[in-house]
Amino acid sequence: MSRPRRILITSALPYINGIKHLGNLAGSMLPADVYARVMRLMGNDVTYICATDEHGTPAELAAQAAGMTVQAYCDEQFEIQRKAGEGFNLSFDWFGRSSRPANHALTQHFAQALEARGLIEERTSKQVYSVDDGRFLPDRYVEGTCPHCGFEKARGDQCDNCGNLLDPVDLINPYSAVSGGTNIEIRDTNHLYLLQEKSQDEIRAWVNKKGANWPSLAVSIANKWLDEGLIARSITRDLSWGIKVLGPDGAPRPGYEDKVFYVWFDAPIEYIAATQEWAEATGGDWEALWRTDKGADETEYVQFMGKDNVAFHTVSFPVTLLGSGEPWKTVDKLKAFNWVTWYGGKFSTSNKRGVFMDQALELLPSDYWRWYLIANSPEGSDAAFTWEGFQAAVNSDLANVLGNFVNRITKYAASKFDGQVPAAGEQGDAEAWMTAELAERLPRLIEHYEAMEFRKAAAETRAIWAAGNEYLTKAEPWVKYKNDFDAAAVGVRAGLNLAALFGILALPIIPDAGKKILDALGIPEEHRNLPGAKPDTDFAKLLDALPHGMPITPPDVLFQKIEDEQVAAWTEQFGGGN
C-alpha cells in the first residue's frame, strides 16, 4: 500500500484592512481549500496554512481613520477575517498573523543571511515625500500618469493598465493617494536593497524547472519579469508599523530606527512562520514541510494566488529562499488565477465594488457561493460575476440536479422500503450503464483536481450528479415497484449508494451539503473517502457498498431556489444588472 502524500498548501495572505470580497476568495483561499479537502479525501497528509498580512501603510492609514492604534485595529480585523473564513468553511490547519513574533524573528534572520551572502546592500534612493501628509509615501500611495502608456491613475509601483513595473519618481504629475495633495518633494532616504539581479540565472533555472507544474499564466508572468531583467528592490520602508530592521550583529541597525521591512519582503516569510506556530500548537513537524535537510524534499508544496501576486512568489520570495544559502523548500505547484469581475470592472475592497464575504453570508449559506465561484473559476481568463448566472447555477446544479436526486431517492426509500437499504435483486442493464459512467467520470474528476482545474472539476461533478438522475430514469424503481419488487429494490439500493457517493463528491466544494447527505445516510467518517483514484477500483461495487438493511433518513431540503424577487433586491442593494 502506497504511503500518503505529504502536501503543504498555502494561499496568498489576505490583507488586514477590511473584509475580503468574493473575488479575493475565488482567487486564492477557496480553491486552496477545495484542493486541500480533495487531497484529504484521498487519504493524504495535508497541512493548509494561511494568515493575515498585517504590515504596511494601508494598515496604518486604516487604523488612523478608525481612531485606533494599529495593533488594536489589526487585532479587530484579524478576528473579523478569521470568522469570515470559518463562515465559508475554509479548512485552514492554521490561520496566523504576519505581525506575530515568529515572523519578526524569521524575517530578520533571512535579512541577515542574505546580507552575509552579499545580496543586500544599503543605497540612498530618491523617494516621494508628501509635505501635506508629513510622511514619505510608499510606492503604491503615489499616483500619477504612467510614463509608458499615459494611464492617468497609475500607482507608483505598477501600472494596472499596461502592467509595467514603475518607480514613483518616474510618474508624470504625481500626487499623494492619501490626501490628493500635489505638494510633494523628492527627498533622499537610505534603504536596504535586495540585489535580485545577482540571482537572475538561478531564478531563471528554477522557473524553467518548476514551471512545468504551473499554469501558463504563472509561467508567463515570471518569464516577463526575467526577460525584462531582475533589478535591485528596496526591502525597507520609512514606517513605524512593521518588523524592525537589525544589523548584521543582531542589534538595531543605526539610522533605521524609523524604518521597517517592506511588507512584500516579510509577508511570504509568514508562510514559514505560521507553519512554525502550527507546529508549536499541534505538535506537528514544521521542518518536514520547509527544510529539505529535514525531509521536505518529500513534501509537495502547492501555492494558490491571484495573478497580481505571481511575480513576488516566482521571483522575490524564491530570491529570499534560495539566496539565503539555507535548505528551504520552494514551491512545486503554483496555481494562479485571473480576476472575478463585477459588471465591467474588478471587485475592489478600496472602492467597495461587489459583494464581500460577510455580506454574502447574510444573504445565503456559504455552499451557494462556494459552488458558483468554483464552477466559474477565473482560470483561463477573467470570470464575470452576475446575479443571473449565480441564480442559474444554484437553481440548476444544486437544487435541481443534486438536491432533487437526493430528495427523491431518500424519500422513496423511507416510504416504500422502511427507511432501509433494500437487499433484494441483482444488478442489470441500468446499473451496468451507471457503472460505466462512474468508471469513466470518477478518474477524470480526480485528474482535474490533481491538475487544479477547478472549473472542469465542478463540471465533471455536476455531470456525475446528472448521470445519477438519468440512472433513476432508466431504473424506474417507482414504476417497477408495482410489478417487480426485486428490480425496484435494486434501483433504490443503487440510488442510495449514489446519494452517498454524491455526498462525498460534494464535500470539497459544498461541504455543508455533503455532510448533511452523509449524516442522513449514516456514513461513518472513516468511510468518507474519494473513490476512483486507484486503478483497481471496483466501480460496480460503488452501487452496492452500503450494508443491506442499514437505516437511512431523508435529509432536509438541501438547497432553496433563488427567486427572481431576490435577484432584483440584491441588484438594487449591491448594484449590477443591465
Is 349 one of the annotated binding-site residues? yes
Indicate the angle between helix axes 404-416 and 454-475, nearest 10 degrees. Answer: 30
**162 marked ligand binding residue:** yes
Give whole-number Cα distances, 2 to 5, 439, 535, in Å. 9, 22, 13
Q: Which residues contact 134 (CB under 8 A, 6 or more apart)?
A: none
Distance of CA 28 to the CA centre of its chain: 2
Rounded CA separation 113/518 (Å): 51
Backbone angles phi, psi at 355, to 5 degrees: -105, 135
Cα–Cα dist 463/264, whole Å: 42
Residue 50 counted as an annotated binding residue: no
146 annotated among ligand-binding-site residues:
yes
* Burial of residue 258, with CB atoms counted within 10 A of its CB: 0-12 exposed, 13-18 middle, 19 or more buried: exposed
Tell me how far apart the alpha carbons of residues 346 and 349 are, in angstroms, rounded to a whole number.
10
Cell of 126: 530618491
* CA separation for the pair 69, 424 (Å, rounded): 70
63, 72 in Cβ contact below 8 A? Answer: yes
Please give the distance of CA 161 from its chain centroid, rounded to a whole number: 25
What count of other Cβ atoms lies within 10 Å of the Cβ of residue 576? 19
Which set of grid coordinates corresponds to residue 485?
A: 419488487
142 within 8 A of 155, measured Cβ to Cβ: yes
Task: Decide: helix, strand or coil at residue 154.
Answer: strand
- Name the DSSP letter for residue 241: S
Per the annotation, binding residues are 146, 149, 159, 162, 349
Per the annotation, binding residues for ATP are 349
Per the annotation, binding residues for Zn(2+) are 146, 149, 159, 162
